[in-house]
Structure 1
Amino acid sequence: MLMELVQRQMLLKRLTPLMMQWGVTAYSAAVSLGLSVLFARSMGSSAFGHYTYIYVLASVLVLAQDAGFNTLLLRERAAPSASLRSHCSQLPTVAVLHLLVTTGLFIVFAGVCSKWIDAPSLMSGIVCFAAIMLMQWQSSWLKGSGKFERDAVFLFCSRTVSAIFVLVAVLTIGPSPSVIFLAWSAGLLLSLALHYRHFPTLAAIEWQFPTWAYRSSLTFFAVGLASTLYHQIDIIILRNLLGEIPAIGHYAVATRIHDGLMLLATPVVLMLFRRMRVLAMQPGAGNRFSRNAVIGALLIGTCLAVVGWIFGPWIVGILFGNVYAEGAHKLIQLLFLALVFALPNFVLEQNAIATQNERLLAFGFLLAVAINVALNFYLIPTIGVEGAAWATILTEVVLCAILTHGLRREVFS
């Protein structure tokens, strides 16, 4: 009886961090979806499409603000590399200084480009994503030290406080990109201030260019850049080819649901990643596990595609209203169909990182970006917004083929 109680407590202790991470991910996805519904309903399809366009631009610029430091902080906090062991204490300072400099430069750049773009909205978006980056760095620092429960609490507080700030601002001032981004920033900065005790110690600034830091983060930056461009560039192309039309808002709604499903899959995929990383240290031990994970993702993606094809338009109507349901009818069906390949690709991406095949992953994403851009420029003028959805499906197929071929020994041999 005592042994059973001890085993139960040990199992609960092991599962608690994972369940908390899953819970905060699901909570964040639900809050983000709820805010998206509020924005879409209160702004209208054209204005919501404009907000999404600014959001995507800022999400691309934040890659340079991050420069790969998010992954580098996570890795070095967990286990410092031999080449960086002597510089490990300086890494948080270098990252924060880099963020401040790049944020200032991008704000100036947005002001210079005010003739061609909504500069105030983009400036506020740049500030917002700088705050998001600080939050993600703190989260990576906690994860790297094994404090998953503390990280889950921190993420929960950050998401709750920022959502309250955004909600109050939208209801009192009105929905606009600048209002949303600035309120979001204020909420995140307040959450960071409340958790200052868990910050890493910032070393004194050394006025010498930290070549060692950027050399280490270069690969992670390349992977992040290619991944973000691949997943976000369709909105930018749509905006420039078609202008501000309601159909872009319909497509933005469909992509939010698609991205929400991928976000819900993240905790499971990260659990798979940890297991794949452990097995990767034992030659030949991880093949069966990785293969089963990819097959499982394929089956789940197929089931979701069938469900989405049948009920997708109804889901859009319930969440966003009948206007969006009519405009996004075909779009949501196509993006659900893309999950057949997107979920296996998600698992294959983690396998590439676990088996130290980051170069293959970067190459696959860069090629996927090129193919996606070409398909968008060819299909959008021909069949409109649906062309972007078809480009997503075809690009996922190509990326799946690249990763499957490149990882055939690690997964399928």
Structure 2
Amino acid sequence: MFRNMAYAGVSAASAGLLLILFIAAGRTLGDVEFGKFSFALALGTIFETLMDFGLHQVTIRAVARDRSQATALLHHTLGIKLVWTTGALVALVATATILRSEWDVRLACYLLGGSLVLRSYMLTIRGVLQGLERFGWDSFVVVTDRAILLIVGVAALAAGGGLRSLAMAFVVARGVALALSAWMTHTHLGGLGLRFDRAIWRELQTTALPLGFFLVVLNLYSYVDAVMLGVMRTDVETGLYTAAYRVYEGLSYAPSVIAAVLTPRLSALFVSDRIRHRRLALVGLAGSTALAVAVGTVAYQFATPLMTRLFGEDFAPAAAPFRILCVGLGFVFAIWVLHAIAISVNRERLLLTTGIIGLVVNVGLNFYLIPHQGASGAALATVAGEGVSLVVLVIGLWTHM
């Protein structure tokens, strides 16, 4: 398991490549254009969940419990996604057109949405690899995707193309990364393919629905702040908040390593050894919480130099919302592991309930706090929603651990 955690750690650490790209974008585009880019990416990421709708997590669990079905599950899931990605992309285009009148923002939304379709297919490949506990190849897919995106994105920025060129770079990079992932899949899983079986599709999607609704809610919860700031305030404030949130999000990749390794192992133990399942779950939760205290304390103390060193002096005001978000790291680190535990014990409906409650709290507070406090108000709403979500998860899982 420690080797798997090391590979998962490499995957999580590669998020630093994305952070470098965001830093380059912030410094090159300026606060206004970076705010537009942040809005487009946040909106696209919200709709990305509709392209998968819980199939990724269900695939991990199903493959972990019956590895002989790995290739068949891959092909069936890819087939189902043809339906979901088409619908999600249409919905994204319509929403972007309604929310923003500027053509450059709309075009960025459309292009980034297309790149997220390609990433969604890579997510399916990763789900099968994680279920098989082949974290080395999963790490290859993730690192390759992010490295190509960094290279192509920085090249577009260096060429002076601006927002449109950066959005186009996402499409090109993700297309190349998907092609490489398909080649790797052909070598290890027999290649990509599409299968249609009404009974299997119904079973997969029925199982995934509660988790899918939860993930839609979770993505709304994570990125609705930037969308609401873009509509209710200014592109500058959207950019400031996104700079703070991206660093905070990068820090929260640490518990994702623990959760990624725990999910298949806990799923298998739940049906074979409940005592070991409980022990491993508690160890993971304790380790994640301790890590949050250490990381959050350091990040809070160095908030201002961190923001200015990364994004430039124009982003010094981003330190205020970042400090607020640092307080919430203790919540989100524990939540990552609790999500893994909930999936392993088939409590997807609890995840959905938790997500809805957290989203309602977050959006409700955003409507009040954003007009009065801008980016700091959005950060306060995020932390409050995380605290409520943590309480709901602990109560719901107490009798299942």
Q: Determine if the TM-score, normalized by the shorter chain, exceeds 0.5.
A: yes
> Structure 2: how far apart are the matches of 1:311 and 1:264?
19
Distance 1:371 1:115, change over 3 A: closer
Residue type of the alignment partner of 1:356: N
Alpha carbons 2:258, 2:284 under 8 Å: kept: no
Specify which of 86, 102, 106 is matched with residue 101 of structure 1.
Answer: 86
Specify which of 321, 335, 354 is matched with residue 312 of structure 2.
Answer: 321
1:380 maps to which residue?
A: 370
Residue type of the alignment partner of 2:233: L
> Structure 2: how far apart are the matches of 1:85 and 1:34?
35
Specify which of 310, 321, 327 is matched with residue 331 of structure 1.
Answer: 321
Shift of residue 47, structure 1, vs aligned partner: 1.6
Alpha carbons 1:110, 1:122 under 8 Å: kept: no
> Structure 1: how far apart are the matches of 2:219 and 2:25?
23
Identity between Structure 1 and Structure 2 (%): 21
Shift of residue 291, structure 1, vs aligned partner: 3.2
Alpha carbons 1:163, 1:184 under 8 Å: kept: no
Q: Which structure: larger Rg?
A: 1
> Structure 1: how far apart are the matches of 2:88 and 2:216?
17
Alpha carbons 2:67, 2:132 under 8 Å: kept: no
Alpha carbons 1:301, 1:343 under 8 Å: kept: yes
Determine if the alignment matches structure 1 residue 36 to structure 2 residue 27: no
Gaps of 5+ in 2: none
1:291 maps to which residue?
A: 282
Shift of residue 59, structure 1, vs aligned partner: 0.8
1:156 maps to which residue?
A: 143
Alpha carbons 1:58, 1:122 under 8 Å: kept: yes
* CA RMSD, Structure 1 to Structure 2 (Å): 3.0
Residue type of the alignment partner of 1:220: L
2:112 maps to which residue?
A: 125
Shift of residue 208, structure 1, vs aligned partner: 11
Task: Tell me the secondary structure at the aligned position of residue 168 of structure 2.
Answer: helix
Alpha carbons 1:286, 1:410 under 8 Å: kept: no
2:153 maps to which residue?
A: 166
> Structure 2: how far apart are the matches of 1:287 and 1:60?
33
> Structure 2: how far apart are the matches of 1:286 and 1:208?
31
> Structure 1: how far apart are the matches of 2:220 and 2:182?
33
Specify which of 221, 229, 239 is matched with residue 220 of structure 2.
Answer: 229
2:129 maps to which residue?
A: 142
Task: Tell me the secondary structure at the aligned position of residue 389 of structure 2.
Answer: helix
Deviation sequence 1:103-140 (CA, Å, 0-9, x none): 66347636864973632111101111011111211222
Q: Greater RCO between the two (CA within 8 Å, min separation 6)?
A: 2
Distance 1:46 1:72, change over 3 A: same
> Structure 2: how far apart are the matches of 1:305 and 1:149?
29
Specify which of 359, 378, 385 is matched with residue 369 of structure 1.
Answer: 359
2:303 maps to which residue?
A: 312
Determine if the alignment matches structure 1 residue 399 to structure 2 residue 389: yes
Aligned residue pairs total: 393
Determine if the alignment matches structure 1 residue 191 to structure 2 residue 177: yes
Shift of residue 360, structure 1, vs aligned partner: 0.9
Alpha carbons 1:135, 1:188 under 8 Å: kept: no
Deviation sequence 1:220-252 (CA, Å, 0-9, x none): 2112111111111111122222133x2322111
> Structure 1: how far apart are the matches of 2:306 and 2:358?
29
Specify which of 339, 346, 352 is matched with residue 349 of structure 1.
Answer: 339
4+ long deviations beyond 6 Å: 84-87, 206-209
Distance 1:407 1:114, change over 3 A: closer
Normalized against structure 2, the TM-score is what?
A: 0.87
Deviation sequence 1:50-95 (CA, Å, 0-9, x none): 111111111111122223232233334444599x999847514523
The farther-off stretch of 119-128 and 148-157 is 148-157
Normalized against structure 1, the TM-score is what?
A: 0.85
> Structure 2: how far apart are the matches of 1:85 and 1:147?
12
Distance 1:152 1:300, change over 3 A: closer
Task: Tell me the secondary structure at the aligned position of residue 209 of structure 2.
Answer: helix
1:219 maps to which residue?
A: 210
More helix by share: 2
Gaps of 5+ in 1: 1-13
Task: Tell me the secondary structure at the aligned position of residue 116 of structure 1.
Answer: coil
